[in-house]
Amino acid sequence: MTYGLVHDGVGSPTAPVAEIDERLLCTRIEQVTHDVKSFVLARVDRAGLAFDPGQYLTVTVETDDGELQRCYTIASPPTRPDLLTITVKRVPDGPVSGWLHDRVAVGDTLRVRGPYGRFGTARNPAAKYLFLSAGSGITPVMSMTRVLHERTEPTDLVFVHSARSPDDIIFRGELATIAARPGIAVTSVCETGSATERWEGPTGRLTLRLLLQLAPDLHDREVFSCGPPGYLQAVREILELAGVDPVRCHEESFDLGSRRPAPRDPSSPGSGSGSPPHHAVQLRRSGRTIECRADESILDAALRAGVRPPSMCREGVCGTCRTTLVAGDVDLQHAGGIRPQQVERGEILLCCSRPRGDVVVDA
């Protein structure tokens, strides 16, 4: 594992990743489709940000309902570290996506933290790739595709993107340009045509038969999938039916409620039968000491006690609830929202840390 390094897409580290927590300047806004916008961001001091293709940022916005956070993939490649692009689809009744679409203008700033995440080619380099995406799930694989497109050495990539209609194909023009490069095959699959265009490409949904037509050697490819839960479930079933080695299959989804819970440490207190023990958790900044069961997260115990530390995904992904463990020991089972170096420094994620005894945290 090469965690904490940024790569050029073929496995060789190029620069250390440094996390930021600051306001970025919006330098450009692009209308990508009728309901998708790209926001081009830059650090105020114009310094670059190192990241791996496929990683994401946590964006905090101040809405009328208070502070809200969401995760957005960096869609631009790390080869252009001075300008970061997040591409946001407007979600019906989505408070953050709607706020970004309606309120953010060039010259405004957005508070971001990151980069986070382990999804991507940097940690799983291969000779041949298969990228599968649907809807706005195209953003992490687009960052990886842009890196591969800019490489001078040979590339072998099959990229299959699913969209509702031709009008909903994100980055359509750029995908056509990328597909002209030898070694990169791009196919879009649309459920239907649109009012303005008769779709001539594959119609319907992704199937094993279509996938084998597009990538007959899929067993030899490293597979990266991103999209909504239903799409990812269908992809899992297709790849399993095809007999693709699960070790070569990687997926990402920001519909956080659909993630599988992190496995419990069987040696942790309370993992056996009977009533789990209770431990005292001192929240140093809040000035409170709360009771926390050994089988619940510190965040859940804090919320139950009426204390609301900063948090978002509650599944160890976004890193919003990261804090310092001052004393004691916890069972930390995260999903990529904290780095090994941070754990070594005594930092934890409240949402996926269960106390092994009495603990003190800086929260």
Instruction: Using CB atoms within 10 Å of the CB of residue 9, give its burial: 0 to 12 exposed, 13 to 18 middle, 19+ buried.
Output: buried
The pLDDT of 264-274, averaged and rounded, is 47
Q: What is the pLDDT of residues 276-329, one digit of tens each?
A: 789 999 999 889 999 999 999 999 999 899 898 877 777 787 777 889 999 999
With both helix axes pointing from N to C terminus, report the angle between 172-179 and 138-150 in degrees, rounded to the nearest 10: 30
Q: How far apart are CA 247 and CA 289, in angstroms?
A: 43
pLDDT score, position 335: 72
pLDDT tops 90 at residue 268: no
Q: Do domains 5-115 and 278-361 have the same CATH topology?
A: no
Q: What is the pLDDT of residues 45-74, one digit of tens each?
A: 888 888 999 998 889 888 877 778 888 999
Residues 6+ positions from 58 with CB-CB distance below 8 Å: 69, 70, 71, 112, 113, 114, 116, 312, 318, 319, 320
Residues 6+ positions from 26 with CB-CB distance below 8 Å: 39, 40, 41, 104, 105, 106, 107, 108, 109, 110
Residue of 336, 288, 278, 286 lying closest to 309 (CA atoms) = 286
pLDDT score, position 67: 77
- Percent of the chain at pLDDT above 70? 89
Q: What is the pLDDT of residues 186-235, one digit of tens each?
A: 999 999 999 889 999 999 999 999 999 999 999 999 999 999 989 999 99
Considering the four listed CATH numbers 3.40.50.300, 3.10.20.30, 2.60.120.260, 3.90.930.12, the one that applies to the domain covering 278-361 is: 3.10.20.30
CATH superfamily, region 5-115: Translation factors (2.40.30.10)
Per-domain residue ranges of the chain: 5-115, 129-255, 278-361
Mean pLDDT of the chain: 87
Give the CA-trace dihedral at 126, 176, 6, 259, to 10 degrees: -80
What CATH class has 129-255? Answer: alpha beta
pLDDT tops 50 at residue 80: yes
